[in-house]
Structure 1
Amino acid sequence: MRNDPASTATALLTLVGGPANVTAVAHCMTRLRLALADPAAADEAGLRALPGVLGVVSDGTTRQIVLGPGIVDEVTAEVEARVADAGQLQPPGGWLAETGARLPEAAARLPEGEIRPAEGDARPAEGDARPAEGDARPAEGKALKTTLRRIANVFVPLIPALIGCGILSGLNGLLLNTGWLPGLAPALSAIASAFLALIAVFVGFNTAREFGGTPVLGGAVAAVVVYPGVARVTAFGTHLAPGQGGVLGALAAALLATRVEKWVRGRVPGALDVLLTPTVTVLVSGLVTLYGLMYAAGAVATAIGTAANWLLATAGAVAGLVLGGLFLPLVLLGLHQALIPIHTTLIEQQGYTVLLPLLAMAGAGQVGAALAVYVRLRHDTSLRTTIRSALPAGLLGVGEPLIYGVSLPLGRPFLTACAGGAAGGAFIGFFAMLGTKVGATAIGPSGWALFPLLTGNRGAGTAAAIYGGGLLTGYLVGFLATYAFGFPRRPRVGAPA
């Protein structure tokens, strides 16, 4: 039975030290992310024992609380409301507030409710890579992880639109191939393609918001990348192409705009800020985007597509084995979303990402491992109940309930689940070596939920058949590996301890 979001939010806030201890609130598809002023005040054991909580990931001052899809949105809204009532969340900022007053940069709002510490706050500033007290991790490693997470924060809010448009694109392809409803196909094509045509603007908006700039200025500069008029601009001896550089160019342009905006604002009088800051930001960043970033980002994007195709064509089975085997640890660390820019770049270039079906095999290995645990531990009623409740989500590609509720606490089944994912990835990669690529037109779903988004160079039907074979391989190997090696051997009677 599903827990009440309001009660869950109240219990969570109590266990993390109260609303006054929360400095930022955000969420992804399955996790609530809370930045804490005093991480030591959080009762992690209590959080893990809370009904509805599937797992807790500690990362410096941040606690990622795994709740699962759907419920995480409702609980986040309740948590944000309580933290805002406590006066912790600052109002949205930027270069011009609704009142016309110039708000401090520290009050600017981050994506999905994340808020920077207010001025005068003694906590490390946004993006500060200094280790927290008692944190023994190197500052460089922590800074890299923080950067990857923040880049992921740019793209995660775009996933619902990518999913919706991807499914409509697949439906449109089905109508075109079958000849059904010919009058509807152009409308579906326009609806499905419009978002991807302008995705650079959304990336620029989110980038500026995440990194402390004015979102609309980030979107304005990123819009240069997709503006049709850039075809009349010559850079490096050739005419630019609209969309050249794609989301990588938009990301770089918005990052530059944020830097320029901060630099200008710190040097102009307040009375001129409303005129000079946006003008100089758009002008300087726009020119650099046209005469440098679009060309460079285009070269990087082309290299990504070329490398992915070459890797699958020459070493597809090995690549699939490695990617499928290592994806669960990335999910465990919350770093899997850092791959979103690569997926998005491949979708822009080729119409689908060949990496997502390989990575999705990790979930198949996880399902197979959970089934083996269910069979082997038939007397563990509590664990079997957990598996029954988490298995539907696992089949649809949401792996956290099985990871945190089953395989990770047991230890060995997590490793054998990785083996199942590696086998499924190798299966799909093998067919890529034979010239049949399997791709996804959007990112987000995996497991059985990915079927409506599948396509490839031999058509959706062939792609679905190979992907289904990969899932079955992952299930089977995950099950057999876990059944045979996922549990400690019982000592023989009379054997030495």
Structure 2
Amino acid sequence: MSTDKNRATAAAILPLVGGPDNITSIAHCMTRLRIGLRDRSLVQDEALKAVPAVLGVVEDETYQIVLGPGAVARVTPEFEALVAQAQPDTPTAPAPKAVTADALAAQGQALKEARKARNATPFKLLLRRVANIFVPLIPALIGCGILAGLNGVLTNLGWLPTLVPALAAMASGFMSLIAVFVGFNTAKEFGGTPILGGAVAAIIVFPGVAKIEVFGEHLSPGQGGVLGALAAALLAVQVEKWCRKWVPETLDVLVTPTLTVLACGLVTLFGLMYVAGVVSTAIGDFAHWLLAAGGAFAGLVLGGLFLPLVMLGLHQALIPIHTTLIEESGYTVLLPILAMAGAGQVGAAIAVYYRLPRNGSIRATIKSALPAGFLGVGEPLIYGVSLPLGRPFVTACVGGAAGGAFIGLCNQLGVGFGSTAIGPSGWALFPLLDGTSAMAPTIAVYAGGLGVGYLVGFATTYFFGFTPQMLADLDTDPLPPATPATTEPTKEPALAP
């Protein structure tokens, strides 16, 4: 049973991270199990990376175990249940043995990530906190986006006219209230009362704001969108903390929430909504202008730089921009271009597969990670293959740049489109495509961009992704026969140029 498999994975992970007493927090995003640790030294990194379901590890503010989409959402509850039991004598699965080349590659990746995490700047940490606000919203964005796409297809074809209004309500309901969820999560992330953050943000979407005039113009419900909600909730956190400090405890339950909503509500209505609305409009206008004017060059830069952002975990900081674009125009024009980075990664991985015919371990890693890669989840291939090898990571970026340039050029030529939701990528983005052109050319251009990314990523990696020394070291059986103790030690494989 799949439940037994997920429970076994959780049971295998738990003792390798120090057991239940070493866990301070548990959360997950789209692909990673995020664990807070009391004592980092208790983690058995190499054994953990060898667990079959573990695709890699990343060290950041939390210890992150890459399990992949779908799997992480099923393993996390099982892991939480095991930790909640907190029984020292509870039997757990033994740690598996690891003597494979992909385990060595994962080790190289973890070292690189650890160094980057130690050098994290306050600005990067702030971006990650902002990303934490939006990550929990992604499942709803995906579901509503797919329903919006299905509704558009039915509308264009004239099918099931009685179902179209129902689908429209399902697809639009969450987006019409997304500001409230952003406010709730913002207050939660920055140490305030979540419901107060949601209450202040709810002012933005209240229909009655249309009666309020600011700077000679009437406000519009939803004006400022998620940016306004983010700013309003951040202000609410500060006002609430000030009230907690100065308001007597006997009056706190009455005065603090009242002052927080009143003060932040007035600032939101007579300042933040207007300013955030201007900024949101500017972001939308700039994104469309960038592709209309920059075309291939803009796509090349965006597609080529996205993989490093994924490597650093900073790609999630783009979620507010994507969400703002969806609010402004119904789709984000940036996501299809950024998705080309995943295409370059897939092409590079296939090239590595064919360049290392005798390394069964790395080839097995690639075969297991490619399905997720085609669906736009690049972390397993990044952390398990290209990044530790060095050069293939760079050539994968070249493939992403080529695919992005193709999409950007077509946008400049008049085929403008984007994604109605965020989260999916690769082939999974097809149901979410929408734009100013007909669906046939939109699908054809996106498919063409994926093809360019695959081909350029493959070709550059195949011909330029390895030095002769790397091939000599890596294109071997990772499990050679045991040699006598007197034999000269085997040379370590070159994991990077």
Structure 1 length normalisation: TM-score?
A: 0.85
- Residue pair 1:227, 1:242 contacting (<8 A) in 2 also: yes
Give the match for residue 102 of structure 1. Answer: none
Q: Which runs of 5+ in 1 are unaligned?
A: 88-134
SS in 1 for 2:358: coil
Deviation track 1:229-250 (CA, whole Å, cap 9, x = no partner) reads: 1111111222111111000001
Check the 8 A contact 1:39/1:62 in 2, yes or no: no
1:79 CA drift (Å):
2.8
Classify the secondary structure of the residue corresponding to 2:36.
strand
Instruction: Tell me the residue number matched to 2:303.
Output: 324
Deviation at 1:435, TM superposition (A): 2.4
Structure 1 contact 438–467 (Cα < 8 Å) conserved: no
Distance 1:446 1:315, change over 3 A: same
> C-alpha separation between the residues in 2 aligned to 1:221 and 1:367?
44
Q: Give the C-alpha shift of residue 486 in structure 1.
A: 1.0
Match for 2:59: what amino acid? S
User: Contact 1:368/1:417 (CA < 8 Å) preserved in 2?
Assistant: yes
The amino acid across from 1:156 in the alignment is V
Q: Percent identity?
A: 68
For 1:130-209, list aligned pairs within 5 A. 141-209=120-188
**Residues 1:79 and 1:267: Cα distance change in structure 2 (over 3 Å):** farther
User: Whole-Å Cα distance in 1 between the matches of residues 56 and 242 of structure 2?
Assistant: 41
User: 1:491 Cα shift?
Assistant: 10
Is the contact made by 1:352 and 1:456 (CA closer than 8 Å) also made in structure 2? yes
Kindly indicate whether residue 313 of structure 2 is the aligned counterpart of residue 334 of structure 1. Answer: yes
Residues 140 and 233 of structure 1: CA distance in aligned 2, closer, same or farther (over 3 Å): farther
Letter of the aligned partner of 1:197 in structure 2? S
Q: Tell me what 1:278 maps to.
A: 257
Residue deviations 1:304-358, cap 9 Å, x none?
A: 1111111111112111111111111111111111100000000000000000000
Distance 1:402 1:258 in 2: 39
- 1:247 aligned partner: 226
CA 1:297–1:479 in 2, change beyond 3 Å: closer, same or farther?
Answer: same
How many pairs align? 445
**RMSD, matched Cα:** 2.2
CA deviation after TM superposition for structure 1 residue 171, in Å: 1.0
Distance in 1 of aligned mates of 2:221 and 2:150: 27
State the shift of 1:406 in Å.
Answer: 1.9
Per the alignment, residue 108 of structure 1 pairs with none
Deviations 1:182-204 (A, max 9, x none): 22211111111111111111111
User: CA deviation digits over 1:436-456, x for unaligned, max 9?
Assistant: 212000001000000000011
The answer as to 2:292 corresponding to 1:313 is: yes
- Superposed displacement of residue 21, structure 1: 2.5
Amino acid aligned to 2:402 = A
2: CA distance between counterparts of 1:3 and 1:51? 14
Q: How far apart, CA to CA, are the structure 2 residues paired with 1:11 and 1:62?
A: 19
2:20 paired residue number: 19
Look up the match of 1:67: 67
AA at the equivalent of 1:31: R
**Contact 1:455–1:464 under 8 Å retained in 2:** no
List per-residue Cα deviations over 1:275-300 (Å, max 9, x = no partner).
11211111111111001111111111
> Partners of 2:74 and 2:144 in 1: how far apart?
24
Cα offset, 1:221, TM superposition = 0.6
Distance in structure 1 (CA, Å) of the matches to 2:189 and 2:470: 55
Summarize the alignment of residues 73-472 of structure 1 with structure 2, pairs less than 5 Å apart: 73-86=73-86, 141-472=120-451
Code of the aligned partner of 1:303: A
* Partner Cα separation in structure 1 for residue 120 and residue 277 of structure 2: 28
The Cα of 1:359 is off from its aligned counterpart by 0.5
**Amino acid aligned to 1:270:** E
Distance in 2 (alpha carbons) for counterparts of 1:488 and 1:139? 30
**Within 2, Cα distance between the matches of 1:471 and 1:376?**
22
State how far apart, in whole Å, the 2-side matches of 1:316 and 1:46 are.
Answer: 47
Q: Where in structure 2 are there 5+ consecutive unaligned residues?
A: 88-113, 473-497
Alignment partners' CA distance in 2, 1:309 and 1:79: 44
Q: Deviations over 1:138-195 (max 9, x none)?
A: 9995322221111111111111111111111111111111111122211111111111
Residue identity opposite 1:234 in structure 2: E
The answer for the alignment partner of 2:102 in structure 1 is: none
Q: What CA deviation, in whole Å up to 9, does each residue of 1:14-49 have, x standing for no partner?
A: 222332232222110001111223333333333223
Counterpart residue number, 2:52 = 51
Q: TM-score with structure 2 length normalisation?
A: 0.85
Task: Report the alpha carbon displacement of residue 253 of structure 1 after superposing the two structures with TM.
Answer: 0.7
CA spacing shift, 1:166–1:44, aligned 2, 3 Å: same
SS across alignment from 1:436: coil
Instruction: Indicate if the aligned counterparts of 2:149 and 2:432 stay in contact, CA closer than 8 A.
Output: yes
1:2 to partner: Cα distance: 9.9
SS of aligned partner of 1:4: helix
Q: Is the 8 A contact 2:356 2:471 kept in 1?
A: no
8 Å contact kept, 1:3–1:52: no
Change (3 A) 1:235 1:343: same
Larger RCO (CA within 8 A; separation ≥ 6): 2
> In 2 relative to 1, CA 64–139 (structure 1 residues): closer, same or farther, beyond 3 Å?
closer
Letter matched to residue 428 of structure 2: A
CA distance in 2, matches of 1:331, 1:80: 27
The structural deviation recorded for 1:271 is: 2.4
CA distance 1:85–1:214, shift in 2 (3 Å): farther
State the SS of the aligned residue for 2:63. Answer: strand
1:3–1:51: 8 Å Cα contact kept in structure 2?
no
Q: Residues of 2 paired with 1:37 and 1:410: CA distance?
A: 32
Helix, strand or coil at the partner of 1:266 = helix
- Judge conservation of contact 2:142–2:422 (CA < 8 Å) in 1: yes
1:434 offset after TM fit, Å?
1.5
Q: Distance in 1 between matches of 2:119 and 2:85?
A: 36
Report the Cα offset of residue 302 of structure 1: 1.2
Amino acid at match of 1:56: V
User: SS of the residue aligned with 2:339?
Assistant: helix
Q: Structure 1 residue 402: deviation in Å?
A: 1.4
